[in-house]
Amino acid sequence: MKTTLFLTIILAIFLVTSIAISDQNKGAATIVLKGGSIGNVSFPHHRHQNALGDCNLCHALFPQNEGSAERLKAEGKLKKKEVMEQCRTCHRQKADKGERAGPTRCKGCHQK
């Protein structure tokens, strides 16, 4: 009886912890990125997380902090269009494989 109760409690703690960790650091559902003179980019963050599954595909380039891309650009550690090139490259690779992909032209993402 004590063993069953103990295992039930351990299992409950494990499940609650797993759920909490999976929801942790998801960030905003949509992020607005500064897009210069051709308009900002409304980036569907959660959609990309669900489709890619690996946050490091993007966040190897910049940290998971709000405004990090802009800060790195200002510090000269990130080229002006480096994020855009990464997005466009990924979109093209997915399209070439016949997978659902995002836009590859400027106005597909940038909106005034």
Q: Where are the domains of the chain?
A: 29-111
What is the pLDDT at residue 75?
95
Q: Rounded distance, CA 4 to CA 10, Å?
A: 10
What is the pLDDT at residue 25?
64
Per the CB < 8 A criterion, the answer to whether 31 and 41 are in contact is no
Output the pTM of the full model.
0.71
What is the pLDDT at residue 20?
46
- Residues of the chain where predicted confidence (pLDDT) is lower than 70: 1-25
Q: Spelled out in words, what is the top-level CATH class assigned to the domain 29-111?
A: alpha beta
